[in-house]
Structure 1
Amino acid sequence: MNVKILIPTSLQRYTNNQATLEYSVDTIDKLISSIETNFPEIKSHLTDDTGKLHRFLNFYLNNEDIRFLDNTKTKLKDGDEVSIISAIAGG
């Protein structure tokens, strides 16, 4: 099962400048763990000290915000696409 992950430009320096990664995992939390294992420098940019996703990052599964699904326990299937989007604040 292959899941495609789109990495934002701001984090690509931690993935050897790769904009897209692929993993064979079945949940979002396993996906994050795999990314952090393969690219240890990205860990502090994805999760906090307790392992929770940083609040300024949004994860979308096939254009649906995982916060409205099952968050990091969201199930993945072959061909899914996960996008990591940096939240932008402004006023």
Structure 2
Amino acid sequence: MTATAHIHLVHRQHTDGNKTVEVKGDTVGRALADLIAQYPAMEKELFDKNGKLHGHIEIYLNAESAFPGELEKPVAPGDDIQIVTFLAGG
């Protein structure tokens, strides 16, 4: 199954500048694992040392929040996975 991962601007330095990456996997977690297989630097950007998504990362599947249980959500061919990073500033 091929889906499209949409990469947030702050992470594009880790995907050779790509805004989107074609990923394979029948769940969001497996699709993200494929993204990391293609771009290993994305692992530390998305996950903590215990393998949990960082708190500032939000995953959307076809423009709808995948929370809770985002890594277990099923992915169908042609789905869009948006990786959103919450930023703060002042």
Deviation at 1:67, TM superposition (A): 0.6
The normalised TM-score by structure 2 is 0.91
Equivalenced residues, count = 90
User: In the TM superposition, what are the counterparts of 1:1-91 in structure 2 within 5 Å?
Assistant: 1-68=1-68, 70-89=69-88
Superposed displacement of residue 24, structure 1: 2.3
Structure 1 residue 90, shift from structure 2 partner: 5.9
Higher helix fraction (1 or 2) = 1
Alignment gaps of 5+ in structure 1? none
Deviation beyond 2 Å, 4+ runs, structure 1: 88-91
Percent of counterpart pairs with the same letter? 27
RMSD of aligned residue pairs (Cα, Å):
1.4
Which whole-Å CA distance do the structure 2 matches of 1:78 and 1:37 have between them?
A: 19
- Could you tell me how far apart the structure 2 residues matched to 1:87 and 1:63 are? 16
* TM-score (structure 1 length as normaliser): 0.90
Q: Structure 2: 5+ residue runs without aligned partners?
A: none
